[in-house]
Amino acid sequence: MARLSRRDHESLISFLGRLYAPRDAGSFADWIARELRLLLGGHLGNFARLELLAGEGAFTNSPAPGAMPESEANTRFLRLCREHPCIVNEERTGYIGAVKISDFVSSAQFHRLRLYDEFYREIGVEDQIATSLLPPGPRMLAVSVSRDRRSFSERERLILDLLRPHLARAFFLSERLGRVDRARSTGALETYRQFLVEVSADGRLLDGTPEVRALFERHFGPAPRGGAERLPGPLARWLAGESAADQSGKRLESPRRPLLHRLHGRTLLADRTDCRLTGRRFLLLEESTDPAALAQVAVRGGSASLTHREVEILAQVELGKTNKEIAGALAISPFTVRKHLENAYEKLGIGTRTGAVRRLREILGER
């Protein structure tokens, strides 16, 4: 069984300390393709967004493949990606953990693929280790590191498996931060009910607007007299817990988790983002009255490999709806609802509707 050394742990903690710095999805893609390649050791790092059914995708490579123009490389890969042994395995089994091309095919078998002959041979790739950041489905987000020889170890597989939930959380946080920054630049931030506020290390609100204070009052009640600059209790305790996890040295085993607070049909999602250059700390706050917001949070974290539809249906179950009512709300058949629930029960290890909703809340860390 693979084990990590003290040096490995130190490298990973340092990596996690820098992981949440990118402020938008494009910057994250550039950063992760470069830094993951340096961490694992390879000649090519990649972040890929694929729409398998549409045959579309976007790729970020570090460095750019020198054997052909990057646009040509992307076109060739998209045309042949359904031959990729790792993609074939995910579509067949639903497994999204770290896998290598060499797990599934020999060198001779790999060389017989058109994918190798027309693409990987041209850029000098003989093996690749990869993991997906989304539950199985037609949309894929994946990171990979490639080498010109078959030499990835079980230690490197363990590192990528440990990092996977952190990578998913960091990517979707960067994506949301990018939306907030774009909305702020156009003066449309409040339209999206998204707020980015600065807080102090001891839980004080440094730049809370009247809209933010109204948001807190809707979810946590009026602030106590003289306490308008303090974060509400549940939010302050969550932030303190996240800070303690950073200091404990156990962050690798415990990915950052948002706070999810639901009250009277409203969902508040709070995430933390820090500026490493200045040491300033910010909270990204989002509010929604749509039950599907719960589904979005779960899918983004890859919780128990539940699909978007499975969690969306569980969100409807939580509201007390029957299968027939859920089918009507989502424009699908009651039979389809039942099959999605059966799949969700199996993944969660639960046999009842109530138990499945309770387990989902535990996974999400809902407060």
What pLDDT shows up at residue 302?
Answer: 47
Residue 145 contacts residue 37 (beta carbons within 8 Å): yes
What pLDDT shows up at residue 249?
Answer: 62
- Amino acid identity, position 5: S
Domain-wise residue ranges, the chain: 6-164, 172-364
Q: What is the CATH number of domain 172-364?
A: 1.10.10.10
Residue 239 contacts residue 231 (beta carbons within 8 Å): yes
What tens digit of pLDDT does each residue of 320-361 get? 889 998 888 888 888 999 988 888 888 777 888 888 877 766
pTM over 0.85: no
Average pLDDT of the chain is 82
Distance CA 241, CA 203 (A): 12
What pLDDT shows up at residue 304?
Answer: 55
What tens digit of pLDDT does each residue of 210-240 get? 888 888 888 888 877 666 678 888 888 888 8
Architecture of domain 6-164: 2-Layer Sandwich (3.30)
Strand-pairing partners, residue 283, are 197, 272
3-state secondary structure of 183: helix
- Does the pLDDT of residue 296 top 80, yes or no? no
Q: Is 106 exposed, middle or buried (CB count within 10 Å of its CB: 0-12, 13-18, 19+)?
A: exposed
Q: Among 125, 119, 114, 105, which residue's Cα sits nearest to residue 44?
A: 125
CA atoms lying within 13 Å on the CB side of residue 294: 28
Ramachandran area for residue 265 (φ above 0: left; ψ -120 to 50: alpha; else beta) = left
DSSP state of 205: B
SS3 content of the chain, % helix, strand, coil (to 5): 55, 15, 30
Distance CA 12, CA 142 (A): 19
Higher pLDDT, 85 or 276: 85
The region of weakest confidence among 89-93, 276-280, 342-346 is 276-280
Intra-chain end-to-end CA distance of the chain, in Å: 37
Distance CA 131, CA 49 (A): 12
Residue 203 confidence class, pLDDT cut points 50, 70, 90: confident
What pLDDT shows up at residue 298?
Answer: 47
What pLDDT shows up at residue 213?
Answer: 85
